[in-house]
């Protein structure tokens, strides 16, 4: 394999260029989260507690918004694995944040079916409205804008996910209004998944 002479090696392009987690404040689960953790661990064989690492990290994220080195230490101790084992997982999966994110994490699906229906323009409109580039958080800490890969709602393209909720068929011209609505109404401004909406409507 010959390396193309004009192809500059661009370190920022690689995932390996990520930074280490910040230390953060001391971390321990709240009593409620600890109880939930204990419940989750029971799903797996006793000598396979490590299986609970993803749910355990979700609990961390729901408690303090993002994952810090102290949280990693806590999870590692509870599961009886090394910090490196947990760090390994945190750095692999895209749904774990290692930096503070906005109150609303707006994730635009950019993969083919959404892109064919205008997802690129949705991202453009959102970026212009929020004054940030994808990957950034606005100065007030309200919005984080991200581009993500296929969300599995291709029949309702373009789809965006805000925190854990969906907003379907977001037209580029409606993107700016959605931002305003999120500011005033919060997550109730979202359409949700149409299947959920149909279920709760009746």
Partner 1 sequence: MGPQRKVRNVDPILTKHVREPNSFTLDFYLQHEGYSALKTALTKKPDELIEMVKASGLRGRGGAGFPTGMKWQFVDKKMSPRYIACNADESEPGTFKDHLLMERNPHLLIEGCAIGCYAIGAKVAYIYIRGEFLHVQTVLERAIDEAYARGFLGRNILGSGFDCDVYMHRGAGAYEAGEETALLESLEGKRAQPRNKPPFPAVVGLYNKPTAVNNVETLCNVPIIVAKGAEWFAALGPEKNGGPKLYCVSGHVKKPGVYEASMNVTLRELIEGYAGGVPEGRKLKAVIPGGSSVPILMPDQLDTQASFDGIQKAGSLLGSAAIIVLDDTTCMVWLAENLLHFYRHESCGKCTPCREGTDWIYKILRRIERGEGQTRDLDLLQSISANIAGKTLCAFGDAAVTPVTTTLKHFRHEYEAHIREKRCTLHAGWRARQPVGAH
Q: Could you tell me which residues come within 8 angstroms of residue 21 by beta carbon, excluding any fewer than 6 positions away?
A: 67, 68, 69, 72, 87, 90, 98
Nearer to partner 1, 8 or 184 (CB): 8
CB closer to partner 1, 153 vs 182:
153
Instruction: Please report whether residue 101 would count as binding partner 1 according to CB under 8 A.
Output: no
Residue 116 sits in the site that holds partner 1 (CB under 8 A): yes
Is residue 106 a contact partner of residue 159, using CB atoms and an 8 Å limit? no
Q: Looking at 15, 17, 25, 140, which residue binds partner 1 (CB under 8 A)?
A: 15
Binding map of partner 1 across residues 66-95, x = CB under 8 A, - = no contact: -------------x-x---x--xx--xxxx
The one-character DSSP state at 173 is G
Among 60, 78, 157, 170, binds partner 1 (CB under 8 A): 157
User: Cβ 32 to partner 1, closest distance in Å?
Assistant: 17
Task: Give the DSSP per-residue string, 87-150.
Answer: HHHHHH-TT--SS---SEEEEEE-SHHHHTTTHHHHHHHHHHHHT--TT-B-TTSSEEEEEES-
> Do 122 and 174 form a contact (C-beta atoms < 8 A)?
no
Binding of partner 1 by 112 (CB under 8 A): yes
Tokens representing residue 92 in the block: 């692999």
Q: Rule CB under 8 A: choose which of 14, 17, 20, 184 binds partner 1.
A: 14
Under the criterion CB under 8 A, does residue 102 sit at the interface with partner 1? no
Q: Which is nearer to partner 1, 100 or 192 (CB)?
A: 192
């Amino acid at each position: 394999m010959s390396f193309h002479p004009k192809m500059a090696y661009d370190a920022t392009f690689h995932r390996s260029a990520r930074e280490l987690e910040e230390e953060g404040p001391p971390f321990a689960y709240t009593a409620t989260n600890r109880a939930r953790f204990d419940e989750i661990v029971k799903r797996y064989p006793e000598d396979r507690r490590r299986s609970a690492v993803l749910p355990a990290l979700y609990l961390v994220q729901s408690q303090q918004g993002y994952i810090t080195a102290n949280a990693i230490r806590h999870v590692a101790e509870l599961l009886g694995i090394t910090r490196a084992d947990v760090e390994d997982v945190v750095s692999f999966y895209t749904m774990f944040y290692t930096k503070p994110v906005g109150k609303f994490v707006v994730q635009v699906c950019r993969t083919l079916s959404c892109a064919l229906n205008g997802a690129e323009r949705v991202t453009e409109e959102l970026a212009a409205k929020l004054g940030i580039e994808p990957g950034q958080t606005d100065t007030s800490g309200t919005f984080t804008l991200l581009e993500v890969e296929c969300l599995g709602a291709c029949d309702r393209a373009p789809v965006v996910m805000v925190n854990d909720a969906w907003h379907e068929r977001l037209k580029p011209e409606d993107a700016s209004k959605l931002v305003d609505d999120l500011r005033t109404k919060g997550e109730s401004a979202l359409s949700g998944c149409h299947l959920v909406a149909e279920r709760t409507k009746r």
